[in-house]
Structure 1
Amino acid sequence: MANGLMSNGSSNSTTTSPWTAQRVALVLGLIVGAIVLRVMPHPWNLAPMGAIALFAGSVLPSRRLAYSVPLIAMILSDLIIGLHQMLPVVYLCFLFYVWLGESFLQKRKPLRIAGSAVTGSLVFFVVTNFACWLAFYSHTWTEFVACYASAIPFYHMTLASDLFYSAVLFGGLAIVEQVYAAARPADNAI
């Protein structure tokens, strides 16, 4: 650490990142809090993982960390909740959320956050239900429609949780950045 700032991870680098130890602790604390909500009893698909992945992609200082956080959170919580054969597809969808966060949320504006949450939940719905159709249904048009029709009642919960938890995570960070100077990036970009 140099002057209270974290280095960018390169052993030969003398540049510093705007990420203070307090900011990293804050971000990871928000993520851990949301993970706890996943393992607590909740309605189907009303979980914070999509928002956590968006948040990680948007605010964590390295790509490796951003992509690792939701995967580690999913693996650890799935060991508690239970494993199933669709996990690889689900995990890939959450990596897509991280990509959305890093690609579209460097400027964290409410409309961009909401648009990314909606996009993530739609992709999650389409991809996971397509995989479900391939794995569990006959490969006919009727069964394809039946698969997606049976999933519709669960989509509104995914969308609601992505929007709600994104508002909590991004809004919480924005509030804390406004109140506590140590939580702000050094370049004052929110």
Structure 2
Amino acid sequence: MDARDVLSRLSWRDLAHRWWRVAVVVALLALAVVWRLVKDGLGAPPNLELATAATFAGALLLRNRGAVVVPFAVAVVSDLALGNTSILVFTWSAWAVIGVAAVLLPRFCGGRHGGWKRYATALGFGLGSSLWFFAWTNFGVWLMGDGAWYPHTVGGLVDCYVAGLPFMRPMLVGNLVLVPLAAGVVTLVERLERAAQHDTVPAR
């Protein structure tokens, strides 16, 4: 067994002792799935989603590669209910890349208790994820289309991106608010942990 295996086992063992972190991530994941299923019926703006915020919280709370599956799981589970689209490979791969990027988040968040770096990273992650999702999935719309709406030319690609701007705006604005809120959830969980540890330390 090499050092990497040891660290991986220790990480999962640590999570087992702090099961509430996993519970919070599962709850956020479930909320993101349910929101995606009901938001249209509630009249919510298109592309306003919770998956990015849940991914950010998952990356910081789990602090291991398990966070990769959070956005992909939201997309897959909800698509099983909603039905797939012609650009399925682009939407799922966009979420997969966001999940992989989330693994790097703890390196930029200023240690375990965050501070201002955590919220700056949250803003950057929300911005970057939104722009990436918009760029990649709209490229898929242009590429996979039959050319009737958006000709397979540079001009057609530009028209496709311009037409997609109204759909990008709710996702971008939403993530600039929701991902920092997810950072606040992580901070709250950490403070509750420290309070619980303090309460269990015997007085001398």
Bin the TM-score by the shorter chain: 0.7 to 0.9
Gaps of 5+ in 1: 1-6, 185-190
The structure whose residues are more often strand, as a share, is 1
One-letter amino acid matched to 1:17:
D
> How far 1:78 moved relative to its partner?
1.1
CA distance 1:58–1:100, shift in 2 (3 Å): farther
Q: Residue in 2 aligned with 1:166?
A: 179
> How far 1:93 moved relative to its partner?
1.2
1:115-134 equivalences under 5 Å are: 115-134=124-143
Q: Residue in 2 aligned with 1:52?
A: 54
The structure whose residues are more often helix, as a share, is 2
Q: Residue in 2 aligned with 1:35?
A: 33
Matched, 1:146 2:159: yes
Runs of 4+ off more than 3 Å: 7-10, 13-16, 179-184
CA distance in 1, matches of 2:195, 2:24: 10
Q: Deviations over 1:12-50 (max 9, x none)?
A: x79942661122212222332232222112321011122
Q: Residue in 2 aligned with 1:92?
A: 93
Q: How many residues align?
A: 175
* Percentage of identical aligned residues: 27
> How far 1:61 moved relative to its partner?
4.2
CA distance in 2, matches of 1:50, 1:16: 26
Q: Of the candidates 6, 18, 21, which is equivalent to residue 20 of structure 1?
A: 18
CA distance in 2, matches of 1:55, 1:14: 17
Could you say what the CA RMSD is over the residues aligned between the two structures, in angstroms? Answer: 2.7
Q: Deviations over 1:82-115 (max 9, x none)?
A: 2112122111111222222221344241011101
For 2:48, what is the secondary structure of its paired residue? coil
Larger radius of gyration: 2
Q: Deviations over 1:125-183 (max 9, x none)?
A: 11111111111232112211110110111111111222222123221221232234378
Query: CA contact under 8 A between 1:114 and 1:163: conserved in structure 2?
Result: yes
Query: CA contact under 8 A between 1:26 and 1:183: conserved in structure 2?
Result: no
CA distance 1:21–1:183, shift in 2 (3 Å): farther
Q: Residue in 2 aligned with 1:188?
A: none
Query: CA contact under 8 A between 2:70 and 2:99: conserved in structure 1?
Result: no
Gaps of 5+ in 2: 1-5, 198-204
Query: CA contact under 8 A between 1:56 and 1:98: conserved in structure 2?
Result: no
Q: Residue in 1 aligned with 2:67?
A: 66
Q: Residue in 2 aligned with 1:187?
A: none
Query: CA contact under 8 A between 2:138 and 2:161: conserved in structure 1?
Result: yes
Of structures 1 and 2, the one with the larger relative CO (CA 8 A, separation 6+) is 1
